[in-house]
Amino acid sequence: MTGVGEPGGERLARAFLTRVLEPGDEVGGAWVRERGAEEVVRRLCGGGEALPGATEQRWTGLLARAARAEPERDLAAAREAGVRFLCPGDLEWPGPLDDLGDARPLGLWVRGRPSLRMWALRSVAIVGARACTEYGAHMAATLAAGLAERGWVVVSGGAYGVDGAAHRGALAAGGATVAVLACGVDRPYPRGHTELINRVADQGLVVGELPPGDHPTPSRFILRNRVIAALTGGTVVVEAAHRSGSLVTARAAQRLGRHTMGVPGPATSGLSAGVHELLRGEAVLVTDAAEVVELVGGIGELAPERRGPVLPRDLLEPDARRVLAALPGRRAAAVDEIAREGGTTKDDAIARLYELRALGYVERHGDDWKLTRQAMVSLRAGRGPC
């Protein structure tokens, strides 16, 4: 490799290392922190003694990768595909990623026009099952659309199921969304989501740690999740079985001090079992975008108070409600009985009964009083008389 030690050498060295070290490699991250990326590249290219913490077998494997790395070619391919390479310290670098310590990405390959740093400041992750139900897809899309309408960026992994529904929900609302991939950002995966990920790149951002053309592996999907968790202010899990990869994202968010939320599902659904486990711990139950924003947003971004419909009897004075509640359901009662059961005086009970008669709740039967038929039907149905 040429260019190490020259202007731009740090960027070239980090691009080199994205081809050699696996994402989230904390040992490699410690080498870069302690020695600098360029020095680590020199040691790998020199083929000398292994750096601390690397076994002979691992060092041999890293040397073999280093021999094939061509960072100049990767950067040229990225430019041709409209992809830029961000490094820690760049103006566009998202500061929250630094919370990952030595597991912080060596750099990020970014496709799309907006500033990743600015978008990360007001972002929420929505993750969940790949094989989600219609309910899961609906909730993910609805949450994403609601967040987008409120000016929040929706971050997910571009996968089938909940991830795809979240991206589509944000796009449909004309909002902002970021797909964090476990492969090169120039080669969308899964292939069935090529059109969706291209739409995300056009309207938002596609981000990854791996250089152009690199392929995903099972471990890379898991390691990708730490970036989703660190990049955002909170993670919402929509449908996840006990062994779901989305739970890795949620637990990473918890370790990083980010908000963790879950959307409940049926108690009998195995796809919601992992979410319910989170909710039994430190995660917060959410059902719509307003509740998510209340948790991750600024002071004053409160969700509306949840309550049932206002019924006509709710508008009665407390004393009148007590007298109404004191009337038997199926027979007439004397004023003395009604006053006693309502905890008031006879004179007050009479005044309240005439008030209730004017509103259609009660009727007089001689000296006794009884609920009207309309009132009995509507009260049983949870409504006041119309």
Cα angle value 139/140/142 (rounded, 5°): 65
Q: Which residues contact 355 (CB under 8 A, 6 or more apart)?
A: 320
pLDDT at 299 over 60: no
Within this chain, do residues 172 and 197 fall inside the same structural domain, yes or no? yes
Dihedral over Cα of 112, 68, 26, 189: its sign:
positive
Q: In this structure, are residues 163 and 157 in contact, taking their beta carbons and an 8 Å threshold?
A: yes
Residues 242 and 340 reside in one and the same domain: no
- The confidence score (pLDDT) of residue 118 equals 96
Instruction: Tally the C-alpha atoms within 13 A of residue 8's C-alpha that lie toward its C-beta.
Output: 9
Closest by Cα among 5, 61, 84 to 37:
5
Q: Would you call the peptide bond into 190 cis, given omega within 30 degrees of 0 as the criterion?
A: yes
Last residue of a domain, one of 261, 296, 331: 296
Q: Is the pLDDT of residue 189 over 80?
A: yes
Q: In whole numbers, what is the pLDDT of the chain averaged over residues?
A: 90
How confident is the model over 253-262, as pLDDT tens digits? 999 999 999 9
* Element holding 225 (H helix, E strand): helix 218-231
Question: Which string of b and e fits 174-212 if b means at least 16 CB within 10 Å?
Answer: ebbbbbbbbbbbbbbbbeebeebbebbbebbbbbbbbbb
Which CATH number goes with the domain that contains 163? 3.40.50.450
Q: Is the pLDDT of residue 188 over 70?
A: yes
- Quote the pLDDT of residue 5: 40
141 and 39 fall within a common domain? no
Q: Are 126 and 286 in contact (CB under 8 A)?
A: no
**DSSP letters of 107-143?**
-EEEESSS-HHHHHTTEEEEEE-TT--HHHHHHHHHH
Question: What local confidence, expressed as pLDDT, does residue 80 receive?
Answer: 95
Calculate the alpha carbon distances from 294 to 250, 252, 272 in Å: 18, 21, 23
Q: How confident is the model at residue 307 (pLDDT cuts 50, 70, 90)?
A: low
Q: Which tokens in the block code for residue 262?
A: 């879950």
∠ CA 202-203-208, nearest 5°, is 70
pLDDT tens-place string over residues 224-244: 999 999 999 999 999 999 988
Instruction: Write out pLDDT tens, residues 41-90.
Output: 999 998 778 899 999 999 999 999 999 999 999 999 999 999 999 999 99
Question: What pLDDT, on the 0 to 100 scale, is given for residue 290?
Answer: 95
Least confident of 5-9, 217-221, 248-252, 264-268: 5-9
Written as six digits, the tokens of 144 are 């994403």
Residue 135 sits in the same domain as residue 66: no
pLDDT at 381: 54
pLDDT tens by residue, 311-354: 566 667 888 888 988 888 888 999 999 899 888 898 998 888 98
Residues in contact with 287: Cβ distance below 8 Å, sequence separation at least 6, in sequence order: 263, 264
Tell me if 337 is assigned to some domain. Answer: yes
Domain holding 354, by residue range, is 312-380
d(CA 186, CA 16): 17
Q: Do 20 and 135 belong together in one domain?
A: no
What strands, in cross-sheet order, belong to the sheet with 362-365? Answer: 333-334, 368-371, 362-365
For residue 12, give both structure tokens. Answer: 């070239």
Return the pLDDT at 378. 59
Per-residue pLDDT, 1: 52
* CA–CA dist 269, 252 (Å, integer): 24
Longest pairwise C-alpha distance within the chain? 108
Can you tell me the distance from the alpha carbon of 332 to that of 330, in angstroms, rounded to the nearest whole number? 7
Sequence-distant (≥ 6) Cβ neighbours of residue 311 within 8 angstroms? 382, 383, 384
Instruction: Say whether both 292 and 319 belong to one domain.
Output: no
Domain assignment present for residue 27? The answer is yes
Reply yes or no on whether the pLDDT at 278 is more than 80. yes
Domains in the chain, number: 3
Query: With contact defined as beta carbons under 8 Å apart, do 95 and 207 qualify?
Result: no
CATH at 320: 1.10.10.10
Is residue 26, in this structure, part of any structural domain at all?
yes
Contact between 147 and 154 (Cβ < 8 Å): yes
Residue 305 within a domain: no
Least confident of 90-99, 173-182, 213-222, 323-332: 323-332
- Has residue 11 got a pLDDT over 90? yes
228 domain-assigned: yes
* Shared domain check, 330 and 240: no
Tell me, what's the pLDDT at 7? 40
- Which helix (H) or strand (E) segment holds residue 261: the answer is strand 259-263
